Amino acid sequence: MIRPGERLVQRDLARTLSKIAENPQSFYTGDIARAIASDMAKNGGLITLEDLRSYKPIWRTPVCGNFRKANICSMPPPSSGGVLLLEIINIIGDTNLLSLGYNHPDALHLLTEAMKIAYADRSQYLGDPDFVKNPVTQLISPAYAKKRRQEISMDRAKPSSEVKPVDESTLLQFSQVNQGDMRRRLGGAETRFQHTHVLRPVYESPETAHLNVVDEQRNAISLTFTVNQGFGSGVVTPGTGILMNDEMDDFAVAPGVPNGFGLVGNEANAIAPRKTPLSSMTPTIIAGSREQA
């Protein structure tokens, strides 16, 4: 057992990272790939050497929108994060949460009810865009958010079981957002990033990690990565130090059946070969003037 103040030295992982730094393809075709494939074969796993060799990253167009005077771009499907972020803040609309005060019951109530609506829509409509059509522009439409806001009573918390996704015919009525214009505005000369003090977290997540980097040329990166649940699958490939994730839990094993985090999915997020599971990762870049929330 590692005790507070003791040092954990991960020699296998250090060697693996050094190999990847020297030759990134070693993870897909070299010794690292062979070690992973061999361990899978010995223990009934599904990943083969051919799977690793044929893997290709997929470039996606960010999902973008406006909130007051800020331009926001975030991760698109197969992450639900960016869509839900924009849907939730659109439902909040002009409500000044800051004026209510930190943790004010009305602010928490509004946020909670907005999240219930967004996650209900997520359960029905979102999935890997290579397999299903995601109605992104409708879900992030301010007009759509205004309609859903009318369902929120500030005097009563609606049980989650009563919060339903919008029906498809209603959803398709809402106008399209000009995504290209949003991205141009985010990347244009008017973008300014203001340096703030560094927050030092008192808690470190055992599963998902996030980092933000802005360099002196104002290039910005917002990155989220995860092994899903705490310590992923709990399995380390011998000799590599690589901890295997358990991202299959992000799929909907059956319509209406919750995953390990209680999220319910549907056919849009059903398991299929070469399909990416729906996640909630929300790496986000916000540009524009600072304004009270």
Known active-site residue 196: no
Neighbours of 269 (CB within 10 A): 32
- Tally of CA atoms within 13 A in the half-sphere of 123 that contains its CB: 24
Read off the amino acid at residue 105. P
Q: What tokens appear for 12 in the block?
A: 């296998």
Q: What tokens appear for 193 in the block?
A: 């990033």
Helix, strand, coil tally for the chain in percent (to 5): 35, 15, 50
Q: Among candidates 136, 124, 81, which has minimal Cα distance to 267?
A: 124
Beta strands in the chain (DSSP E): 63-67, 70-74, 208-214, 220-226, 284-288
CA distances for 3 relative to 8, 157, 204, angstroms: 10, 44, 16
| Active-site residue (options: 191, 208, 226, 282) | 208
Give me the active site residues, please: 208
